[in-house]
Amino acid sequence: MSYNHFRECGYFVLLALALAGCSIGVPDEPQHQFALPSAPPFLTEDMAVGKACEAMALDKHPTNDWQIAAPAGRPTRAPDGTADRYFRRTFSTNHGSVWFVRGAEIRDYIVQLNGDRVICYCHHGY
C-alpha cells in the first residue's frame, strides 16, 4: 500500500469523527453536564446560549465581563426553520458553538444536546 492510500484513509477517519460529533483535543475547561426534565426534539438557540452562559460562570468567567458575539460564517437554522443569531450549528442540529468576546479575547463554548442532557465546555480561549 502506498503512502497516499494511508493518507486518504486518515482523511476519511477524521471526517467520520467530525460527523459523529467528536472533537480532537482536550477542552480548555471542564465539561459541564446539565440535566433536563425531558429530551427536547432539538437544541434551540436559547437553550444553547443559556447553557453556555451557565458553563462560563462555572468556569469563573463572569458573563457580565463578556459580550455574546455572532460567530463568523454563514448563519445556521434550527430544524424548525428559526434562524440562529448567536449559536452556530456544526456537526448536527444538536451540536454547535457560542462565542463570547471581551476586547480582543474570544471564548468559544461547544454545546451539545445528548437526549435529556446538555454538555457544554470551552473549546478555545484566545
Cross-strand partners of 86: none
In this prediction, residue 29 carries a pLDDT of: 63
Confidence check: pLDDT of 3 > 50? no
Residue 71 has a CB neighbour count (10 Å cut-off) of 19
In this prediction, residue 28 carries a pLDDT of: 54
In this prediction, residue 91 carries a pLDDT of: 84
Per-residue b/e over 106-124, b at no fewer than 16 CB within 10 Å?
ebbbbbbbeeeebbbbbee
- Structural domain boundaries in the chain: 27-125
Confidence check: pLDDT of 2 > 90? no
Helix, strand, coil percentages (3-state) for the chain, rounded to 5, are: 25, 35, 40
Global model pTM greater than 0.85: no
